[in-house]
Structure 1
Amino acid sequence: MDLFMTSYPVFFALSALSLALNTAVNVAQANDGAMQDIEVIEVYAQKRLQRIQDVSVAVTSINGAALSEQRIKDTTELASFSPNVKISQNAAEGTPPAINIRGVGLIDYNTSNTSPVSFYIDDVVAGSANNQIVNLFDMEQVEVLRGPQGTLFGRNSTGGAIILRSTRPDSEFGGYITAGLANNDHQTLEGAINLPLTDDSAARFAFSHQDYDYSTNNLLKSSPEAGMRQDNYRFLLSSDFGKLDVLLKAHLEDWSGIVQPVGSIGLFKNPATKAPCSVSEAGSTSCFDLFGYNSGSNDFYDVKVNNNSPHKTDSKGLSLNLTGQLTDNTSLISVTSWDKLKRQHAFNCDGSPSRLCEGNLGLENQVITQELRLHHQLGEHYLIAGAFWLDESIVQDNYNDIFRDLRGVLSQAVTFIYDNQIDVDSSALFAQYDYRYSPATTFTVGLRYTAESTDYQSITHLNVGTDPNDYVGLTIPFYQVSGSQDDNKWSGKLAVNHQLDSNNSVYYSFSNGFKSGGYNGGFLSSLEQAQLADYGAETLNAHEVGAKLTLLDQDLAINMAAFYYDYQDQQVFMNQASTVPNTPPLQLLENVGSSTIYGSEIELFYTPTAQLYFQLGLGYLPEANFDKFIDPTGRELTDNRLPFTSKWNISGLANYEMPLLSHNLVLQLNFDYQSDYYFDQNENPYAEQTGYTLWNGFIRYESDDWDVSLWGKNLFGQHYSNLKFDLSSFLGMLEDFKGEGRRYGMVFQYHF
């Protein structure tokens, strides 16, 4: 489809641009001669520090103070800060998170795949989705970049990029210590110390300890309490040698616990007759799975699950960032990294006291990267050019134990043991040039060439039992598949940014990106599935218009954008019912042909007085649908809504500060609303999440050296799910991975 010849998107873009230009011109005239002491927001959206008005990117900047104040534990809680963004824990904490930006995302819980939203952690790409759940402590800034980032970030960033930046060492001695207690036996201990070593060197050590139980209440008393203990450590050393700046980082993570138990949404009033429950009845005590189970309680957080399901994560890594000043206008930056992750994540997928579906996701993941960038200031113009290389190895150690309690009774009672190895090699050359056409207008052109190859080998065995008491069984070979997937693609950007005055700008950009193909190393229950498990690259072409404005004597800032996406060969994770009764569903990652996405978003930041601050974000996606697609079982999904994609997303906060007894009292209330969406491509009403709002807030009393806070999350106990996984044709139920309930606590922080 030729985007430039399609009347609707062109009309849509031109109308939005006209509105932005008219508004911006009026704002510029109103602000002519206004004071210039507005807080300047600077971002790294183009791999150099720039004012947010100077970048032709829809970007939300979140400072470290906001993360700390709102008790943001990890990256799965970032969505409330940015419109048209959704992030969840997916299939329980410890599995790859589900991330969606403007309808572009991946819900796959398997450990073999990469999200179309890339993560950069202190300038280092995170690699596969396994590495995208990151605890956020002692952070300087987080940026959410919406839309394809096909030039400077490039690899697998069709949806956008999230940039995490740790607090850097500086020349002043200092630090902080934080201790907190909360419900669900939640204990927090966090701190950092900054140590000047010489006039030109400093070090910073930071740590975070979290120990907590989940909101889910397991009624099966023989199962251990579900919860997680997470210890995270980070060390940074910076040195300035005149013409050379060095930043060395080391990190270590140690997580252990019992996985959050899954709930069961039973679908039948009578399992024998398979009389169905309505959508509103499903999951209640009047509905059962095919084996007659339910939790025996209508409390949302009650489950009854054999959940001896341990989790263990060990990860570590090193990175070295070198910045050499070649001339006054030219610098060379080298970023080298090595990261290793080991993880064992057990699960129970039948949501019952019996052993009908259990397993483990085992993983060893190693990522090595190297990036070289040349930055050159040519008068008013700016050039970034570079090369990138990544080598990633994913070794899986997985099994899925089906109908363990029915061994020797059902022929389907087997254990699938699937050990996959996936090796990815990616390299790229890229350049981006900002050409200052006039003092007010800058044109940007960027281009990237990426060559990526994925080699895979899948070796699967079956373990079968001969009678009900045979729990050791006999292990036999099942299938072995190997192959490779190669992709060589161009991506890039064309943009124009026009400054109406020093604080107001409008922009248009055309950008594209691609996510490489690969191999779906998930649960593949047949040779035919395994042979069809490789998938091709996806591409996305995006038009975007936007404005970044200030009004009311700089007290009101507005960022707005409208966009139109032409999405080709989109990769969608599918949970498809098997054609064989009482067997696990097909778990596929398919290129669905094409999709059309368009929408808009607006962010407002308003400070009416020195004490009062408001923030509002609104995202609107009226169209995010498959154009035409027939799935591997022959079912037509044309015009179905893309999974995990809300039509409306609204978030905001109100923050009020007041003096109290010679100190300062801060009150904040914030919310995040997501309209309804589906968890799979079938628009199955049982696998739908209805719209919900999460309300959070805190009260903080602070002095110069210390502060104490009372905080709460999900204050009204909203019921919602991170994922509903359809096992209706297999077990007559859906797995329900429940979102966390009401949480509240107290935290004390001391600064030195």
Structure 2
Amino acid sequence: MFKLSAISISLITVFFSPVSVFANDEGMEVIEVYAQKRKQTLEEVSISIATLNGDNITRQGIKDVSEVSGYVANFKISQNAAEGTPPALNIRGVGLIDYNTANTSPIAMYIDGRPVGSANNQIANLFDVEQIEVLKGPQGTLFGRNSTGGALLVRTKRPEDGNYGFIKAGVGTDEWRRVQGAYNARVNEQSALRFSFNHTDYEYTSYNVFEPSPEAGLKQQDARLSYLAEWDAFSLYAKLEYGHWDGIVQPVGSIGIFKDPVNGVRCTPAEAGGPGCYDAFGFNDGSSDYWAVSVNNDSPHLSIYKGWTVQGDWQISDSQQLTYINGFNRLDRRHAFNCDGSPARLCEGELGLKNEILSNELRYSSALDSDHLTLGLFHIEERIYQDNFNDILRDMRGLLDTSLTNTFFYDNEIIVKSVAAFAQYEWQLNDAHRITVGLRYSDETVEYDSISRLNTVLDINQLEGVTIPYYQVMGEVKDDGLSGRVAWNYQHSKSLMLYYSLANGTKSGGYNGGLLATGEQARMADYDPEELYAHEIGAKYNNADNLSLNGAVFFYDYSKQQVFMNQASTTPGAPPLQLLENVGSSTIYGAELAMQYKLSESVKFRGAAGYIPEADFDEFIDPVGNVLTDNRLPFTPKWNINSDITYSLPLGRAELVSTIGFEYQSEYYFDQNQNAYAMQSGYTLWRGSVHYEQGDWRIGVWGKNLFDKEYSHLKFDLSAFLGMLEDFKGEGRRLGVDVSYRF
């Protein structure tokens, strides 16, 4: 539909500014954040924060939160094991790569003040959004549980005075179709309604050459209705949301590792997946096209979510406010998968899920002259019901030992209950010095009931097998503890603020409800809390004219770290052991710098760089005897750099805004084994857009991964089982055109 040469000529002089926009010709925009659960300027807060506003999300065609990490230093989000499974969020080396639907990320995520809970809910489509904030480092005081590495805050656009709206339609390569819109309606002098929607329909940039399989793609439909009323001393915000996603999952590729499967002769890591490399059963997809795969991928996906958020604010006096937030969300999902990456039936299954989460927060805040006090109570209850199965070596029934050709059914019920009380006091010593002290007490219980059945061959003449009870394990994990923060702000001048912060965060213990191959493994599947202490020294500079700089150096002491492990079974030819273990401790340190610079009235620059030279396990040997000491943490590149330039050209009553930018990641590993086969080499993704605006109309052209760089979201190691690695390929080149109209 589009030619790269044509678009790249238009983009060669461009860039775009994703962290903030420049509100006028007189200076830098003042960015307001909610990192401390109240509106403050970015330069006031002693936390490393990156922001991305709604207009830049729209201009660049950013689809969902997984694409945000391309604009923030030391922040990485991957779709992990295909879109629709829990994503992998990682801030400064702290993250969880497990695709299991029972687990929770150490990066907390909040949408309009409501916690989303487990990692199942951490992929959100971005439409009609006001701002995204990425808070780096432990947020144990105000955001509490499961914010060991930081927090991601999404704030959607709220109703406001006036009757207006917009509609946007777009098309692109690989059958990309999108329609979005919103309408804001004034109800009366005190209140307004806002309705917004998103419909996105697309095929994946990787494609399947196995003709019996249907074309893979997804249709995503989202809707949101919100209400805001403001009276003299009270305001009420209420939001309803609904989503329906269905389609065929992205087909997985196969990275074969054997030159000679019969004699066990291996390809080198550089050769693996190439034309002369096969899996243990002799399969190679036979294509030199990186984006082509050959797999029986009749694998449907269906997600339905619905929920509400209600927030009431009572202005008790000029200096005191009481806030109550109630939220509920339910997610029903069925996600089929093929894990052998071939036309054979060697590893197939489905992740079934019902996830319900109810949360309440009551918060009191008071401004005491120049000081500020925050007190709060928090409650959350989450119920996870899993209905999963994995069919192992179906095509080998009757050929291999019957103990190796089974279907595992694993149904888990996991109930999480947590309560907390927190307090933070910000003390203004004088004009230059400010001290922040915070403390939180949390108490949590995780109850689990794990039931498994096994379909196995008892009679070689009946290969369909019989289904028998396998195991049932019940129990609970309890933990409580304190987390908190001490920070010092030094206002050196009007433009420059320096700070030091000592913060700690915890991620609670729980139960790993993934593929548990034996009853013994199921009984050992609970895990303990983890804890992280973070030292950070930072500086924030904004001359309110043309330059903004934000930098930090940090040192993390990470203890009892929860790490997902994909380890070869001690039984040859059996599925791998998938464990979630506390590995003891890790050490992480690094630095980051973000800059925005207004070169002229027409040209603006933004750049950010992160450097993490150390992110390693301390001394540790895993449960099956593998030494992981000094191994680097997964999904943690040493270097990551992103940058953009935007160029605005006035054309009478119209304006042409053109942009170009890139994201660079140095090499990193996909698992804890530091396996050369499961490694992503360094890569750079280029992006750009050109928008023409006149009056109420905007026409835009955008492109992602302009040079069609080949990279993977995840390489999942099944080499000891199937002689291959699953290759979840990244997003190839995608180009699109949008037309929007404001009314």
Instruction: Provide TM-score, normalisation by structure 2.
Output: 0.95
List gaps (5 residues or longer) in structure 2.
Answer: 1-24
Given that 2:27 and 2:546 are in contact with CA atoms closer than 8 Å, whether structure 1 keeps it comes out as: no
Matched, 1:325 2:293: no
**Counterpart-to-counterpart distance in 2, 1:660 and 1:405:** 65
State the alpha-carbon separation in 1 of the partners of residues 418 and 463 from structure 2.
44
Q: Choose the corresponding residue for 2:511, options 512, 519, 540.
A: 519
8 Å contact kept, 1:405–1:468:
no
How far does the alpha carbon of each residue in 1:160-200 deviate from its partner, in whole angstroms, 9 at most, with x for none? 00000000100011111000000110100000000000100
Distance 1:269 1:78 in 2: 39
Structure 2 counterpart of 1:573 = 564
For residues 277-310 of structure 1, the C-alpha deviation after alignment (integer angstroms, 9 at most, x for no partner) is 0111100121000101011112111111000000
Corresponding residue of 2:162: 172
Q: What's the CA shift string for 1:311-333, capped at 9, x where partnerless?
A: 00000001110001111111100
Structure of higher RCO (CA pairs closer than 8 Å, 6+ residues apart): 2
Residue by residue, what CA displacement relative to the aligned partner does 1:65-105 show, whole Å, maximum 9, x if unpaired? 01111111001001012100000100000000001000000
Structure 2 residue matching 1:198: 3-state secondary structure: coil
CA distance in 1, matches of 2:74, 2:181: 33
**CA distance 1:407–1:390, shift in 2 (3 Å):** same
Cα distance per residue 1:594-621 (max 9 Å; x no partner): 0000000000000010110100000000
Deviations 1:677-729 (CA, angstroms, capped at 9, x unpaired): 00011110000000001100001111120110111000000000000000001
Superposed, 1:241-252 pairs within 5 Å as 241-252=231-242
Find out whether 1:641 has 2:632 as its counterpart.
Answer: yes
Please tell me the residue identity of whatever aligns with 1:72. I
| 1:572-628 residue CA offsets vs partner (Å, 9 max, x unmatched) | 101000011111000000100000000000000000101101000000000000011
2:725 is the counterpart of 1:734 = yes
Give the distance between the partners of 2:57 and 2:130, measured in 1 at CA: 9
Please point out which of 170, 185, 189 is paired with 2:175: 185
Contact 1:408/1:467 (<8 A) preserved: no
Secondary structure of the corresponding residue to residue 618 of structure 2: strand
Distance 1:188 1:427 in 2: 41
Does the Cα contact within 8 Å between 2:303 and 2:333 map onto a contact in 1? yes
What is the match of residue 47 of structure 1? Answer: 37
Opposite residue 421 of structure 1, the aligned amino acid is E
User: Gapped runs of 5+ residues in structure 1?
Assistant: 1-34
> For the Cα contact (< 8 Å) 1:285–1:296, is it kept in 2?
yes
What are the equivalent positions in structure 2 for 1:271-670 lying under 5 Å apart?
271-410=261-400, 411=402, 412-465=404-457, 470=462, 472-551=464-543, 554-660=545-651, 662-670=653-661
- Give, in whole Å, the separation in 1 of the partners of 2:660 and 2:26: 30
Determine the C-alpha separation between the residues in 1 that align with 2:43 and 2:651.
37
* 1:37 to partner: Cα distance: 5.3
Deviations 1:716-747 (A, max 9, x none): 00000000000001000000000011000100
**Cα gap change, 1:346 to 1:471, in 2 (>3 Å):** farther
Q: What is the match of residue 713 of structure 1?
A: 704
Match among 677, 683, 702 for residue 686 of structure 1: 677
Using the alignment, how far apart are the partners of 1:79 and 1:471 within structure 2? 48
Q: Decide whether the 8 Å contact of 2:28 with 2:547 is kept in 1.
A: no
User: 1:232 matched to which residue of 2?
Assistant: 222
Q: Distance in 1 between matches of 2:739 and 2:367?
A: 46
SS of 1:326's partner is strand
Say whether 1:114 aligns with 2:101.
Answer: no
SS in structure 2 at match of 1:202: strand
Superposed displacement of residue 472, structure 1 = 4.5
Q: Is the 8 A contact 1:444 1:494 kept in 2?
A: yes
Partner of 1:161: 151
Stretch moving more, 282-291 or 37-46? 37-46
Contact 1:675/1:690 (<8 A) preserved = yes
Matched with 1:61 is 51
Does the residue aligned with 2:492 lie in a helix, a strand or coil? strand
Distance change in 2, residues 1:212/1:463 (3 Å): same
Amino acid at match of 1:715: L
Q: What SS class does the counterpart of residue 273 from structure 1 fall into?
A: coil
Q: Name the residue aligned to 1:18.
A: none
TM-score normalized with structure 1 length: 0.94
The separation in 1 between residues aligned to 2:334 and 2:569, in whole angstroms, is 27
Instruction: Report if the CA contact (8 A) 1:148-1:159 is conserved.
Output: yes
Alpha carbons of 1:741 and 1:470: their partners in 2 closer, same or farther (altered >3 Å)? farther
Local SS of the residue matching 1:628: coil
Deviation at 1:547, TM superposition (A): 0.4
Match of 1:134 in 2: 124
Over aligned residues, Cα RMSD in angstroms? Answer: 1.2
In structure 2, how many angstroms separate the alpha carbons of the residues matched to 1:254 and 1:470?
Answer: 40
Counterpart code for 1:274: G
CA distance in 1, matches of 2:225, 2:604: 35
Amino acid at match of 2:338: N
Q: CA deviation at 1:501?
A: 2.5
On the 8 A contact 1:409/1:468 being kept in 2, the answer is no
Quick check: 2:398–2:463 contact (8 Å CA) kept in 1?
no
On the 8 A contact 1:408/1:466 being kept in 2, the answer is no
Counterpart of 2:434, as a letter, is T
Looking at structure 1, the residues matched to 213 and 592 of structure 2 have their Cα atoms a distance apart, in angstroms, of: 45
Report how many residues are paired.
Answer: 717
Pair 37,222 (structure 1): closer, same or farther in 2 beyond 3 Å: closer
> 1:471, CA displacement in angstroms?
6.3
Q: Which residue of the partner structure matches residue 269 of structure 1?
A: 259
Q: Aligned pair 1:699/2:690, yes or no?
A: yes
Give, in whole Å, the separation in 1 of the partners of 2:130 and 2:742: 16
Tell me, in whole angstroms, the C-alpha distance in 2 between the residues paired with 1:662 and 1:59: 36
Distance in 2 between residues matched to 1:221 and 1:377, nearest whole Å: 66
> Match of 1:27?
none
Give the secondary structure class of the aligned counterpart of 1:78: helix
In 2, Cα distance between equivalents of 1:469 and 1:749:
63
1:653–1:470 Cα change, 3 Å: farther
Identity of aligned residues (%): 53
Runs of 4+ in 1 over 6 A off after TM superposition: none
Alignment-mate amino acid for residue 84 of structure 1: N
Tell me, yes or no, if the aligned pair for 1:369 and 1:389 is still in contact at 8 Å. yes
Q: Which residue of 2 aligns with 1:89?
A: 79
Secondary structure at the aligned position of 1:108 is classed as coil
Instruction: Show CA shifts across 1:509-548 (max 9, x none).
Output: 1000000000000001011111111000000000001000
Distance 1:735 1:262 in 2: 6
